[in-house]
Amino acid sequence: MPESNSQLKPTTMVWAKYPRKAAKRNQEGWVHLGFRIDKDGGVVDITVIDVSPKGYGFEKEAIRALKKWKYEQENAQESDTVIEFYLSLPPGKKLAKG
């Protein structure tokens, strides 16, 4: 579940899809993204702060989802924030066969 250090509340949230490469290998991961919220509540200037493990596409899917988020903007000012996406399998669940 995404976590944010901002007091701003998202009004529209799109969940990241599980990367195909990670699903085939039953690999879990997480991504820390930095971004700005523009005066209309849109997400802009997304940067990857950290990702683990690398090479599975977690950051690509998290960015794709975050671009669709909208935030409540009470005073219509731009702000900076950081969000963390955790992509994990439910206990006992395997995505790939075999």
d(CA 51, CA 14): 19
- Are 13 and 95 contacting, i.e. CB atoms less than 8 angstroms apart? no
Does 92 reside within a domain?
no
pLDDT tens per residue, range 12-68: 999 888 899 998 898 988 888 988 888 888 899 999 999 999 999 999 999 999 999
Domains identified in the chain, total number: 1
Q: Decide if 76 is inside a domain.
A: yes
pLDDT digits (tens, 9 = 90+) for 61-80: 999 999 999 988 765 456 66
- Give residue 84's pLDDT: 66
**Is residue 20, in this structure, part of any structural domain at all?**
yes
Residue 81, phi then psi, degrees to nearest 5:
-155, 170
**Does residue 95 lie within any of the structural domains?**
no
Identify whether the C-beta of residue 83 lies closer than 8 Å to the C-beta of residue 2. Answer: yes
Q: Quick one: pLDDT at residue 8?
A: 73
> Does residue 93 fall inside a structural domain?
no
The answer to whether position 12 is within a domain reads yes
CATH of the domain at 40: 3.30.2420.10
Domain that holds residue 38: 3-87
Spacing of C-alpha 18 from chain mean position: 11
How many C-beta neighbours within 10 Å does residue 33 have? 23
